[in-house]
């Protein structure tokens, strides 16, 4: 288990607490300058933080309060850098062998380096220098080198960002396979939410050096803690509203003039009249091309106008405008095949069914 607590007012402000269990992949997600890479560098020992405690199981790597500071070169960390940072004057084999602890003799180290390269499907490329390898092959050498130290923690700093899309998917598969063999805490920095959703067991959303939310990708994406998290995780329809309790629990969509009110669940945390932001997760929105013959009384049914169709290959985004509140827009993602099957066209009336279970309400921060 990796446990990290970092705090400093500057020059890079940080207030981060995170944990990553063995065999768990934690994705650090946030905008540029949010402190993701600084957290990774602090774990590796490449960045000194004013107030810090970093421990792996019972071993403390950094504890400013106790005056403990293990230097980077003595921390058993494997790190894959964004641009790989392979030593350009060394072959793939030499790059990997360099990271093998010196306690092993040269023959054993060479054998281990060959085995690591073979594990990464780099058989026959051991003598090539980085400039003689493709982007994906360099990435694999970097991963083999990161594993050469028998690390207790694996750190991936946007490790997949510099390769093309097809190569990236092959590398994802290899990381997934690798995780079946390694019981390591893995911390990955990424800008790519799809990547985080695909690979990570947990996501930690960072902004301005602070942890905003930590949870499984499903939790974070369907129940963002606040509007900022919702925006950072790329949720499109972050709607304004007011939470009402009197005479019944309702969510008024939009400002005070709006008459669109939705059934929602009351968790007892909000007062009547609290201004909120809300999102609805895609799986709880159903689009009907014609008026539904039977209505589920517990669900919300809204008559809308189909305002726009944005077709992007296999997927289509349908923009719906609520008939009684033209400023209120909802985007529904569906397959292009489904859209064609329904025969949707811009301007036609459609009906949206919103399940209150999928409506997530967030208070507006003062």
Closest contact distance (angstroms) between CB of 69 and another protein is: 14
Closest contact distance (angstroms) between CB of 184 and another protein is: 15
Residue closer to another protein by CB (options 78, 217) is 78
Closest CA to 113 of 98, 102, 128: 98
Backbone angles phi, psi at 11, to 5 degrees: -70, -25
How many DSSP H helices and E strands does the chain contain? 9, 21
Residue closer to another protein by CB (options 98, 265) is 98
Closest CA to 186 of 28, 23, 6: 23
Distance between CA atoms of 263 and 243, rounded to whole angstroms? Answer: 10
Residue closer to another protein by CB (options 130, 217) is 130
Residue closer to another protein by CB (options 81, 172) is 81
Distance between CA atoms of 233 and 204, rounded to whole angstroms? Answer: 11
Task: Report the interface residues with another protein, using CB under 8 A.
Answer: 41, 44-46, 71-75, 77-79, 81, 83-89, 98-99, 101, 129-133, 138, 145-146, 148-149
Residue closer to another protein by CB (options 151, 217) is 151
Closest contact distance (angstroms) between CB of 88 and another protein is: 5
Distance between CA atoms of 136 and 122, rounded to whole angstroms? Answer: 10
Closest contact distance (angstroms) between CB of 68 and another protein is: 18
Closest contact distance (angstroms) between CB of 132 and another protein is: 7
Centroid of chain to Cα 70: 29
**Is 172:165 a contact under the CB 8 Å cutoff?**
no
């Amino acid at each position: 288990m990796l446990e990290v607590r970092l705090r400093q007012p500057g020059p890079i402000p940080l207030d981060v607490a995170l944990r990553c269990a063995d065999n768990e992949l934690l994705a650090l997600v946030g905008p540029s300058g949010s402190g993701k890479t600084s957290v990774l560098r602090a774990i590796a020992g490449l960045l000194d933080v004013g107030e810090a405690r970093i421990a792996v199981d019972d071993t403390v790597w950094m504890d400013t309060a106790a005056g403990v500071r293990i230097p980077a070169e003595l921390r058993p960390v494997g790190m894959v850098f964004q641009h790989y940072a392979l030593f350009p004057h060394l072959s793939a084999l030499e790059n990997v062998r360099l990271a093998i602890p010196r306690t092993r003799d040269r023959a054993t180290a060479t054998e281990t380096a060959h085995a690591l390269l073979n594990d990464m499907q780099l058989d026959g490329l051991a003598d090539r220098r980085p400039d003689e390898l493709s982007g994906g092959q360099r990435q694999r050498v970097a991963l083999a080198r990161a594993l050469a130290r028998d690390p207790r923690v694996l750190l991936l700093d946007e490790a997949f960002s510099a390769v093309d899309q097809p190569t990236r998917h092959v590398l994802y598969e290899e990381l997934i396979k690798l995780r079946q063999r390694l019981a390591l805490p893995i911390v990955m920095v990424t800008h790519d939410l799809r990547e985080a959703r695909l690979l990570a067991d947990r996501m930690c959303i960072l902004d301005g050096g602070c942890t905003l939310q930590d949870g499984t990708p499903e939790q974070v994406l369907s129940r963002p803690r606040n509007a900022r998290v919702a925006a950072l995780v790329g949720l499109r329809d972050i709607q304004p509203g007011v939470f009402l309790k009197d005479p019944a629990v309702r969510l008024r969509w939009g400002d005070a003039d709006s008459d669109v009110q939705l059934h929602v669940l009351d968790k007892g945390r909000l007062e009547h009249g609290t201004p909120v932001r809300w999102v609805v997760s895609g799986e709880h929105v159903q689009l009907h091309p014609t008026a539904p013959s039977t209505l589920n009384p517990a669900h919300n049914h809204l008559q809308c106008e189909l305002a726009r169709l944005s077709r992007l290959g296999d997927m289509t985004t349908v923009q719906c405008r609520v008939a009684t509140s033209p400023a209120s827009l909802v985007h529904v993602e569906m397959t292009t095949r489904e859209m064609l099957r329904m025969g949707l066209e811009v301007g036609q009336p459609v009906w949206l069914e919103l399940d209150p279970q999928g409506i997530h309400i967030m208070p507006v921060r003062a």
